[in-house]
């Protein structure tokens, strides 16, 4: 089974969310997602200050197999996109939960975070898919 | 090896060179080239051998089974090519008066009529010069229709998640928002999700039927009803028209607008991004918006209809009348196979696909939609092979090349993991289909016993496995004069 840190929240569309404790969260894609996509060759991160709705397509990840939308797990305002991914898109493959983060946002309602999946529930979804 | 790498200063094919350099006195000084162009300097024999060698390295439908099928391009009968090259067609100037091109206009008019008859649409325009442009034209007509009625609230186009990527792109290019509709586990559009999504904001839905998962959507009437009841229009993506040609008509299914990829269904060439043709057909209420020019037939003969005849047209998409050479080939193909032949295309395309699916299932491969009959194509998922042997779909695809088979479409549609989308088309014999099954079976055996042999494939081709990751990350698209060029002057 792929690596699923217990302190993160997850979505059924394979994003992870980390509560940074300062009113912002960080978003990326899971180890399972990067493995399924294969080698990432291009990432388009959202602009700072953009307001996104929950489940809105907010970034694009392109691998040798496919281009995939990344959905914002929560509604809020984008604080920062990971600019380093422009030169090192493969960070999503090698370090999906650390260097490979995609964007940070300030959620409109931090309480919505609790409504996302925990590691066990996400693991079950992945198991059902395969 | 690039031909530039064979270049030696001063080497030429003297027999082919002009005796006198042409005068260019009328080109202004500032526009003239100062340095010589970086063209390779080679002998005639070197040029002949270089390009002949390249052509021999081609993996093409003329030499190999090609299960990409009409998804990419069908076999092009030679007769279409030779007839379209008749001097009367080739030599006609696009600005020549209509009276000097009645033969060509008659062919185009007949092609419009044939496409109308076979799709069940009310009118057809041949103007769009590719499938994607046909899609753009189709969605632009949907927009024009709603606008003309003062219905400005319709801002959304519905697109099933199994759709071709061009569908949402075309909708966005026309200023619409895209709303995705999920596909059920049986391959049909999720009808409840569709009914929940339609409303006064719905401009239309873009559907491919049979869909990209290779099944005919059984709920098409209910879909048409739901979208029409909400005031939206139905767009038919003609990508899979080959499956139903001469059997079922999009117009009868309730579609308002359709684009046809002539290279997919009507056997026209489509190589290297070359010229294409994507005619559009419409129901009666969309006719005023068709792109111009159109060909009409009156007592005096054939003539072009242009903006002055069709003031509500979405306009022109291309210079002159479209890609004549391609349109002619489609016309000739349609006339060669005739009305009965069209029906046989769909019969044999689906028969071949279902035979191949059944044989592959017998051989132990897993169908993505096992309870469904295939249309002209079907999906096999290799997720079990990937999990158990660590050999994925791309490895199978590359190893097929060693066995003399072009790989089917890989990793599309995106909603089926580790998938091969296989489409034999109507032109393959039973023996060729059996050979493909034997190769797939042999590769699976290798995946079990000697997986490295599959993962390292291809082994027997002039080029081994390409590093597509490096190619995507470090784009290198053009040859530039480098050190070797300097050394030779």
Q: For B387-399, how does the pLDDT look when each residue is reduced to its tens digit (9 = 90+)?
A: 999 999 999 999 9
Share of chain A above pLDDT 70, in %: 98
**Residue B273: predicted pLDDT:** 65
**Residue B489: predicted pLDDT:** 35
B411:A65 CB<8 A: yes
Q: Which two tokens stand for residue B29?
A: 């000084």
Tell me the mean pLDDT in the region B58-64: 85
Q: What is the distance between the alpha carbons of residues B475 and B340, in angstroms, rounded to a whole number?
A: 49
A41:B469 CB<8 A: yes
Q: How confident is the model at residue B259 (pLDDT cuts 50, 70, 90)?
A: very high
**Residue B382: predicted pLDDT:** 97
What number of other Cβ atoms are within 10 A of residue B319's Cβ? 8
Kind and range of the H or E run holding B205: strand B202-207
> Does residue A130 sit at the B interface (CB-CB below 8 Å)?
yes
> Does residue A56 sit at the B interface (CB-CB below 8 Å)?
no
Chain B interface test: which of A13, A37, A38 (most B C-beta within 10 Å):
A38
A68:B414 CB<8 A: yes
The whole model's pTM is what?
0.86
Write out pLDDT tens, residues B164-221.
889 999 999 999 999 999 999 999 999 999 999 999 999 999 999 999 899 999 999 9
Q: Going by CATH, does the domain composed of B382-473 fall within 3.90.1150.10?
A: yes
> Does residue A129 sit at the B interface (CB-CB below 8 Å)?
yes
Average pLDDT, chain B: 92
Contact A54, A88 (CB under 8 A): no
Q: Is the pLDDT of residue B487 over 80?
A: no
Tell me the mean pLDDT in the region B379-384: 96
Q: Which of B315, B377, B390 is nearest to B350 (CA)?
A: B377
- List chain B domain ranges: 79-337, 382-473
Q: What is the distance between the alpha carbons of residues B161 and B415, in angstroms, rounded to a whole number?
A: 8
Helix (H, G, I), strand (E, B) or coil at B132: helix
CA closest to B414 among chain A residues: A66
Q: What is the distance between the alpha carbons of residues B266 and B246, in angstroms, rounded to a whole number?
A: 12
Contact B148, B312 (CB under 8 A): yes
Q: Which two tokens stand for residue B241?
A: 């028209």
More confident of the two residues B477 and B118? B118
Q: Is the pLDDT of residue B472 over 90?
A: no
Tell me the mean pLDDT in the region B365-370: 96
Contact B455, B465 (CB under 8 A): no
Q: What is the distance between the alpha carbons of residues B394 and B407, in angstroms, rounded to a whole number?
A: 9
Tell me the mean pLDDT in the region B133-162: 97
Tell me the mean pLDDT in the region B269-293: 90
Is the ipTM here above 0.90? no
Residues of chain A neighbouring B472 (CB-CB closer than 8 A): 41-42, 64
Residue B238 makes CB contacts below 8 A (sequence gap 6+) with B119, B131, B134, B250, B258, B259, B260, B261, B264, B265
A130:B417 CB<8 A: yes
Strand pairing report for B378-381 and B419-422? antiparallel
Tell me the mean pLDDT in the region B3-28: 85
**Residue B459: predicted pLDDT:** 96
Q: Which two tokens stand for residue B438?
A: 């034997």
| CA of B473 vs chain A CAs: smallest distance (Å) | 6
Task: Select from A42, A66, A130 the Cβ nearest to the Cβ of B414.
Answer: A66
Kind and range of the H or E run holding B409: strand B409-410
Residue A120 makes CB contacts below 8 A (sequence gap 6+) with none
Tell me the mean pLDDT in the region A76-99: 96
Q: What is the distance between the alpha carbons of residues B171 and B185, in angstroms, rounded to a whole number?
A: 26
**Residue B173: predicted pLDDT:** 96
**Residue B397: predicted pLDDT:** 97
Residue A129 makes CB contacts below 8 A (sequence gap 6+) with B417
Q: What is the distance between the alpha carbons of residues B106 and B431, in angstroms, rounded to a whole number?
A: 41
**Residue A26: predicted pLDDT:** 97
Tell me the mean pLDDT in the region B262-268: 91
Q: Is the pLDDT of residue B468 over 70?
A: yes
**Residue B272: predicted pLDDT:** 62
Contact B221, B254 (CB under 8 A): yes
Contact A76, A48 (CB under 8 A): no
Burial class (CB in 10 A: 0-12, 13-18, 19+), B261: buried
**Residue B92: predicted pLDDT:** 92
Q: How confident is the model at residue B327 (pLDDT cuts 50, 70, 90)?
A: very high
What number of other Cβ atoms are within 10 A of residue B242's Cβ? 27
Query: Residue B107: how many CA atoms within 13 Å on its side-chain side?
Result: 20
Q: Is the pLDDT of residue B486 over 50?
A: no
Cis peptide bond N-terminal to B210, omega within 30: yes
Q: Looking up tokens 């991914």, which residue turns up?
A: A85
Q: What is the distance between the alpha carbons of residues A96 and B170, in angstroms, rounded to a whole number?
A: 33
DSSP type of residue A117:
B
Q: What is the distance between the alpha carbons of residues B77 and B62, in angstroms, rounded to a whole number?
A: 11
> Does residue A1 sit at the B interface (CB-CB below 8 Å)?
no
Cis peptide bond N-terminal to B458, omega within 30: yes
Q: Phi and psi for B471 in degrees, rounded to 5?
A: -60, -35
Q: Which of B147, B143, B164, B312 is nearest to B233 (CA)?
A: B143
Q: Is the pLDDT of residue B63 over 50?
A: yes
Q: Looking up tokens 């493969």, which residue turns up?
A: A90
Rounded CA Rg of chain B: 25
Q: What is the distance between the alpha carbons of residues B435 and B67, in angstroms, rounded to a whole number?
A: 12
Q: How many CB pairs under 8 A join A and B?
A: 22
Q: How confident is the model at residue B271 (pLDDT cuts 50, 70, 90)?
A: low
Rounded CA Rg of chain A: 13
Question: What is the DSSP code string of B63-92?
Answer: TSB-TTGGGT-----HHHHHHHT-HHHHT-
Residues of chain A neighbouring B410 (CB-CB closer than 8 A): 65
**Residue B485: predicted pLDDT:** 44
Rounded to the nearest 10 degrees, how much is the dihedral formed by the CA atoms of B134, B139, B141, B145? 170
Share of chain B above pLDDT 90, in %: 76
- List chain A domain ranges: 9-129
Q: Which CATH number fits domain B79-337: 3.40.50.880, 2.30.30.100, 3.40.640.10, 3.40.1190.20?
A: 3.40.640.10
Q: Looking up tokens 């999009």, which residue turns up?
A: B250
> Does residue A65 sit at the B interface (CB-CB below 8 Å)?
yes
More confident of the two residues B289 and B13? B289
Contact B279, B126 (CB under 8 A): yes
Q: Which of B382, B358, B356 is nearest to B368 (CA)?
A: B382
Q: Which CATH number fits domain A9-129: 3.50.50.60, 2.40.50.100, 2.40.70.10, 2.70.180.20?
A: 2.40.50.100
Q: What is the distance between the alpha carbons of residues B15 and B321, in angstroms, rounded to a whole number?
A: 39
Chain B residues whose C-beta sits inside 8 Å of any chain A C-beta: 165, 383, 387, 410-412, 414, 417, 468-469, 472-473
B469:A68 CB<8 A: no
| CA of A21 vs chain B CAs: smallest distance (Å) | 34
DSSP strands (E only) in chain A:
9-10, 15-19, 25-29, 40-44, 51-52, 57-63, 67-71, 76-81, 103-107
End-to-end CA distance of chain B: 20
DSSP type of residue B19:
S
Q: Is the pLDDT of residue B339 over 60?
A: yes
| CA of B229 vs chain A CAs: smallest distance (Å) | 28
A129:B417 CB<8 A: yes
Q: Is the pLDDT of residue B488 over 80?
A: no
Q: How confident is the model at residue B483 (pLDDT cuts 50, 70, 90)?
A: very low
Q: What is the distance between the alpha carbons of residues B238 and B209, in angstroms, rounded to a whole number?
A: 8
Which has the minimum average pLDDT: B19-23, B208-212, B217-221, B314-318? Answer: B19-23
């Amino acid at each position: 089974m792929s690596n699923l840190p217990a302190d993160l929240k997850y979505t059924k569309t394979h994003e992870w969310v980390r509560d940074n404790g300062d009113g912002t969260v960080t978003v990326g894609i899971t180890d399972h997602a990067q493995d399924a996509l294969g080698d990432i060759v291009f990432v388009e991160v959202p602009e700072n200050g953009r307001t996104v709705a929950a489940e809105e397509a907010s970034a694009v990840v392109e691998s040798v197999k496919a281009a995939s939308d990344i959905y914002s797990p929560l509604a809020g305002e984008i604080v920062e996109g990971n600019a380093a991914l422009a030169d090192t898109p493969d960070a999503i493959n090698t370090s999906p939960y650390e260097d490979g983060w995609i964007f940070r946002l300030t959620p409109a309602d931090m309480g919505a975070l609790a409504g996302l999946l925990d590691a066990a529930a996400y693991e079950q979804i992945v198991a059902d898919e395969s | 090896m690039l031909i530039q790498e064979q270049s030696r200063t001063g080497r030429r094919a003297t027999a082919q060179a002009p005796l006198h350099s042409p005068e260019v006195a009328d080109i202004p000084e500032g526009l003239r080239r100062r340095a010589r162009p970086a063209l390779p300097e080679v002998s005639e024999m070197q040029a002949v051998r270089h390009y002949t060698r390249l052509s021999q390295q081609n993996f093409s439908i003329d030499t190999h089974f090609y299960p990409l099928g009409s998804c990419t391009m069908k076999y092009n009968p030679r007769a279409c090519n030779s007839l379209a090259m008749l001097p009367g067609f080739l030599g006609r100037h696009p600005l020549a008066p209509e009276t000097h091109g009645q033969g060509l206009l008659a062919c185009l008019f007949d092609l419009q009529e044939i496409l109308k008859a076979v799709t069940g649409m009310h009118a057809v325009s041949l103007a769009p010069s590719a499938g994607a442009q046909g899609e753009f034209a189709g969605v632009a007509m949907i927009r024009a229709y709603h606008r003309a009625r003062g219905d400005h609230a319709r801002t959304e186009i519905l697109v099933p998640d199994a759709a071709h990527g061009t569908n949402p792109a075309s909708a966005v290019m026309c200023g619409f928002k895209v709303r995705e509709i999920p596909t059920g586990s049986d391959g049909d559009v999720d009808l409840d999700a569709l009914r929940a999504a339609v409303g006064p904001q719905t401009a239309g839905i873009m559907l491919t039927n049979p869909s990209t998962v290779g099944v005919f959507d059984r709920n098409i009437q209910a879909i048409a009803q739901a979208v029409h009841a909400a005031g939206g229009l139905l767009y038919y993506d003609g990508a899979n028209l080959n499956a139903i040609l001469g059997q079922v008509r999009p117009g009868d299914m309730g579609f308002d607008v359709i684009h046809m990829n002539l290279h997919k269904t009507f056997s026209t060439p489509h190589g290297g991004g070359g010229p294409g043709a994507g005619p559009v057909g419409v129901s009666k209420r969309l006719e005023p918006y068709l792109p111009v020019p159109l060909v009409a037939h009156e007592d005096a003969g054939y003539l072009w209809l242009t903006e002055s005849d069709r003031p509500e047209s979405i306009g022109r998409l291309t210079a002159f009348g479209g890609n004549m050479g391609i349109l002619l080939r489609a016309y000739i193909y349609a006339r060669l196979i005739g009305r009965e032949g069209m029906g046989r295309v769909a019969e044999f395309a689906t028969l071949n696909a279902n035979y191949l699916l059944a044989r592959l299932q017998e051989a132990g491969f897993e169908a993505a939609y096992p309870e469904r009959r295939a249309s002209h194509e079907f999906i096999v998922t290799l997720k079990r092979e990937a999990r158990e042997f660590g050999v994925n779909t791309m490895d199978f695809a590359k190893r097929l090349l060693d066995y003399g088979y072009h790989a089917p479409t890989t990793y599309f549609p995106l909603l089926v993991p580790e998938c091969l989308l296989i489409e034999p088309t109507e032109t393959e014999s039973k023996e060729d289909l059996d050979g493909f099954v034997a190769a797939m079976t042999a590769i699976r055996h290798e995946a079990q016993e000697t997986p490295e042999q599959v993962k390292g494939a291809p082994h027997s081709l002039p080029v081994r496995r390409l590093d597509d990751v490096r190619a995507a990350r470090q784009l290198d698209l053009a040859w530039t004069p480098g050190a070797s060029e300097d050394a030779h002057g």
